[in-house]
Amino acid sequence: MRAAEGPDPSGAVQARIDSLYRQDGRRVFAALVRLLGSFDLAEEALHDAFLAAAAQWPQQGVPANPVAWLVSAGRFQAIDRLRRDRRFRPWDAALDDTLADPAPGWEQQQDARAEIADDRLRLVFTCCHPSLSEEARIALTLREVCGLATEAVAAAFLVPTPTLAQRIVRAKGKIAAARIPYEVPGPAELPARLASVLRVVYLVFNEGHAALAAGLSDEAIRLARLLQQLQPGPEVQGLLALLLLTDARRAARRNAAGDLVPLDRQDRRLWDAALIAEGCTLAEAALRQPGFGAYALQAAIAAVHAEAADAAATDWPQIIGLYDALLRLEPSPVIALNRAVAVAMRDGPEAGLALVQPLLPALAGYAATPAVLADLCRRAGRLEAARLHYRAAATAARQPAERDHLLRQLAALGG
């Protein structure tokens, strides 16, 4: 720690502390989870560490490595609390390691600094463990890795706050009971575990994109960038590219009245050119590497859309070819439905309807299916069928903006 610099009359030190909390608070939290073995203890220790910084740094100066200082302070505060409470708690032998005093200056050691740098990745893999339900993985990642308030996560996913809170509590309990290791998995387990992590990030982004909730989309992109930094690979690159290329259209997705604007009607001058350039570069790099998968191919599809000057200039044959490759890699009725939409853009709506019909049994319950059918029937002039499908699509829509758009499409048909 630097020599004392006296009080902080300008508030500069407090401003630095506030900035560290916003930018590095979850790094400190992740390190404390590793050291304390408990999400709840780590959350308390995080707040204690920043309170200690607010009390000491204005007088003593900001330390050379503030993140390591905060981790050390939080750990010692937690140890003191545990020792005070020890006589009131059932004895747990697992606390022995937690209560052990670390060597003096441990937080300044090179291996300790490296561990702190890797702790966020460990936390992501813990929160996305395959033994947890998909809903629990998403909730836990947003709450513990991203630091979003429980109320904000619940609102984004349209569930009551107590329900979301119980989901998080159960997930934490399962991690503790099953002693799920706080670590990045080894080479044998990494591909399957990484797939779980990437899916959580993808679902978080999709939820934010569908709800026009910029906060969720931004958190997903931050997580994808973190994974790209700490665990690079073609599918991580592909996922980040896909998110960036999709998010580049954010400003064009609503008109001046706040209504949802479909992709083919968006003002492409509003698309973010910098995100498109970065996303296209990442997508190309992912496809040049061995082992690329579904995210890289989806990113390539998004790149073709992004590079078209307008909807009419879209290279639909190339998009269909990419969907063919995606179907070979990951056969899915949802991917086949998206390919049918692309075929309809190239060959006409009747061609698309012919491809969708055989898929309908497998797509039962998929909310996007009636919207696709409604659009294809409208374009094919099957207006009564289009009205039927628009009504079904509006009923199935989860987000108000999407429901309003579908109802406007229905009203435009008359009758």
Q: Is residue 247 part of a domain?
A: no
| Pairwise CA distance, residues 66 & 17, whole Å | 9
The segments of the chain whose pLDDT lies below 50 read 1-5, 91, 103, 106, 110
Last residue of a domain, one of 108, 133, 158: 108
**109 CB neighbour count, 10 Å cutoff:** 13
Question: What's the pLDDT score for residue 183?
Answer: 81
Q: Is residue 366 part of a domain?
A: yes
Q: Is residue 93 part of a domain?
A: yes
Q: What is the DSSP letter of 273?
A: H
Q: What is the dihedral of CA 95, 73, 102, 122, to 10 degrees?
A: 70
Last residue of a domain, one of 57, 86, 108: 108
Q: Are 157 and 208 in contact (CB under 8 A)?
A: no
Last residue of a domain, one of 52, 76, 108: 108
Of 56, 58, 71, the residue nearest 25 (C-alpha): 71
Q: Is residue 28 part of a domain?
A: yes
Q: Are 193 and 130 in contact (CB under 8 A)?
A: yes
Q: Is residue 80 part of a domain?
A: yes
* pLDDT more than 90, % of the chain: 53
Question: What's the pLDDT score for residue 288?
Answer: 95
Question: What's the pLDDT score for residue 187?
Answer: 78
| Pairwise CA distance, residues 13 & 16, whole Å | 5
Task: Please state the three-class secondary structure of 196-211 as a single string.
Answer: HHHHHHHHHHHHHHHC
Structural domain containing residue 96:
12-108
Q: How many domains does the chain have?
A: 2
Q: Is residue 32 part of a domain?
A: yes
Q: Are 44 and 69 in contact (CB under 8 A)?
A: no
Q: Is residue 169 part of a domain?
A: no
Of 145, 143, 166, the residue nearest 156 (C-alpha): 143
Q: Is residue 278 part of a domain?
A: no
Question: What's the pLDDT score for residue 102?
Answer: 54
Tell me the whole-structure pTM to 2 decimals: 0.77
Q: What's the CATH number where 50 sits? A: 1.10.1740
pLDDT digits 0-9 by tens, 223-276: 899 889 878 899 999 999 999 999 999 999 999 888 999 999 999 999 999 999
Question: What's the pLDDT score for residue 186?
Answer: 81
